[in-house]
Amino acid sequence: MAQKSRIFTATALALVVLATAAACSPQAGASAGASGPSSAPNQAHVTPVTPTPTPTPAPTRTPPAFDKHAHSINKANNYWVVVNKLRPLNPKTYSPSDIINVPVAHDNPPRMRKAAGNALVKMFAAGKKAGAGAMQIQSAWRPYSVQVSVYNGWVASLGKKQADLQSARPGYSEHQTGLAVDISPVPLKCALAACFGTTPQGKWLAANSWKYGYILRYPKGRTAITGYVYEPWHFRYVGTALSTEYHLEGATTLEGFFGLPAAPDYAN
Ligand SMILES: [Zn+2]
């Protein structure tokens, strides 16, 4: 390796010298493309050296760049809306106007907004076709009134502090938007549990949901930002434009993607 390394260094230096010379030449622009590397006089001793693997440069995409301000993240009925413990829905009693019954297997009522539901049908079918197994809706749209009774039930039995750790306050739940869905395998296994992430369905969804406009909203290790523990079963529809960009950037939270403050807890 030391020998190769020296040869490589010498080659690199020679190329730098050549490149510098070319850059200084008045015809550099015209000759660079036409002549190519074969015209380099030192090429002969480069050839026998086993090519040293070079890191693949990060792929660059051509403009127009993705516009993160193209849609509002504040409007409750927007596919891009960001809801968290510091960003309640406005109004808190918001109810979507295009809820449909999604024709897939389900435990609780399979109600979601139309675009989210249609995408879910395609995603479940694709997952099954890919060999990940069957999936069902564990929980989807939860209207404000339902969230009120669920949350109040927890407060009554556990107290407010503990209730806040396991149930969103009414007006603060993504499920109220009709764009969020909890998914479980069929037959039922690891429903609403961290081990869902190790099932074929959980793994397939984590890798492929972006193709259908969905993102994994509460990933592992992001509780301090999202305010929620790892929920490998909770997917949020944002549309394919955003989910594709999110995937390309390697984003892990909507808060990070949009440059929003972390929302580990309610303001009061
Ligand atoms: Zn959920």
pLDDT tens profile 7-54: 444 444 344 333 433 333 333 333 333 333 443 444 445 455 566 667
d(CA 152, CA 212): 34
Q: How far apart are the CA of 97 and the centre of ligand 1, in A?
A: 20
| pLDDT for 36 | 38
| pLDDT for 81 | 98
What's the pLDDT band for 60 if we cut at 50, 70, 90? Answer: low
Q: How far apart are the CA of 28 and the centre of ligand 1, in A?
A: 59
The yes-or-no verdict on residue 1 having pLDDT over 80 is: no
Residues 128 and 236 in one domain: yes
75 belongs to a structural domain: no
263 belongs to a structural domain: no
- As given in the structure block, the two tokens for residue 205 are 């969804």
pLDDT tens track for 143-168: 999 999 999 999 999 999 888 877 89
| pLDDT for 165 | 74
Of residues 263 and 22, more confidence is placed in: 263
128 belongs to a structural domain: yes
Contact 179, 238 (CB under 8 A): yes
| pLDDT for 61 | 59
Neighbours of 44 (CB within 10 A): 8
What's the domain count of the chain? 2
CA distances from 237 to 79, 113, 192, 211 (A): 7, 9, 18, 11
237 belongs to a structural domain: yes
168 belongs to a structural domain: no
Give the single-character DSSP code of 109.
Answer: -
Of residues 200 and 12, more confidence is placed in: 200
d(CA 162, CA 157): 9
Sheet containing 134-139: which strands, arranged edge to edge? 134-139, 180-186, 234-237, 214-216
Residues 1 and 126 in one domain: no
Q: How far apart are the CA of 96 and the centre of ligand 1, in A?
A: 17
Range of the domain at 7: 1-23+40-47
Q: How far apart are the CA of 155 and the centre of ligand 1, in A?
A: 19
Q: Is 171 left (phi over 0), alpha (psi -120 to 50) or beta?
A: left
Neighbours of 255 (CB within 10 A): 20
* Least confident residue range of 2-11, 52-61, 71-80, 186-195: 2-11
Name 186's bridge partners: 134
Residues 130 and 218 in one domain: yes
Helix (H, G, I), strand (E, B) or coil at 74: coil
Q: Which residue has the tokens 């399979």?
A: 110
Residues 128 and 3 in one domain: no
Q: What percent of the chain has pLDDT over 90?
A: 73
Residues 121 and 210 in one domain: yes
d(CA 179, CA 187): 24
Of residues 59 and 234, more confidence is placed in: 234
**Mean pLDDT for the chain overall:** 85
What number is the average pLDDT over the span 244-252? 98
Q: How far apart are the CA of 130 and the centre of ligand 1, in A?
A: 24
Q: How far apart are the CA of 68 and the centre of ligand 1, in A?
A: 25
